[in-house]
Amino acid sequence: QVIIRAEQVEKYYAQPSENRIQVISPTDLSISEGEIVALLGPSGSGKSTLLRMLTGLSTPSAGQVFWHEKPVANADVNVAIVFQSFALFPWLTVVENVEAPLKARGLEASDRRKRALKMLDTVGLDGFQTAYPKELSGGMRQRVGFARALVVEPEVLFMDEPFSALDVLTAENLRSELLELWQKKTIPTRAIFIVTHNIEEAVLLADRIIVLGRNPGHVRTDFKVALAHPR
Euclidean distance between CA atoms 128 and 64, whole angstroms: 42
As measured in angstroms, the least distance from the Cβ of 200 to ligand ADP is 18
Q: Which is nearer to ligand ADP, 45 or 97 (CB)?
A: 45
The DSSP-derived string for 102-164 is: HHHTT--HHHHHHHHHHHHHHTT-TT-TT--GGGS-HHHHHHHHHHHHHTT--SEEEEESTTT
CB of 15 to ligand ADP, least distance (A): 8
- Which residues does 114 contact at the CB level (< 8 Å), separation at least 6? none
Q: Examine residue 44 and tell whether it contacts ligand ADP (CB under 6 A).
A: yes
Stretch binding ligand ADP (CB under 6 A), from 43-51, 108-116, 165-173, 202-210: 43-51
Nearer to ligand ADP (CB atom), residue 47 or residue 112:
47
Q: How far apart are CA 61 and CA 153, in angstroms?
A: 30
Looking only at residues 59 through 118 of this chain, which bind ligand ADP when binding is defined by CB under 6 A? 59
Spatial CA neighbour of 148 closest among 79, 91, 57, 206: 79
Residue closer to ligand ADP by CB (options 63, 188) is: 63
Half-sphere exposure of 194 (CA within 13 A, CB side): 28
Task: Give yes or no for residue 45 binding ligand ADP (CB under 6 A).
Answer: yes
Asked if 80 and 157 count as a contact pair (C-beta separation under 8 A), the reply is yes
Q: 139: closest CA among 172, 188, 117? A: 172
Q: Given the rule CB under 6 A, which of 48-56, 63-71, 77-85, 183-191 is the region that contacts ligand ADP?
A: 48-56
Span interacting with ligand ADP, options 30-38, 46-54, 75-83, 143-151, rule CB under 6 A: 46-54
Which of 7, 26, 52, 218 is the binder for ligand ADP (CB under 6 A)?
A: 52
The DSSP output letter for 43 is T
Interface residues with ligand ADP (CB under 6 A)?
A: 13, 23, 41, 43-49, 52, 58-59, 216
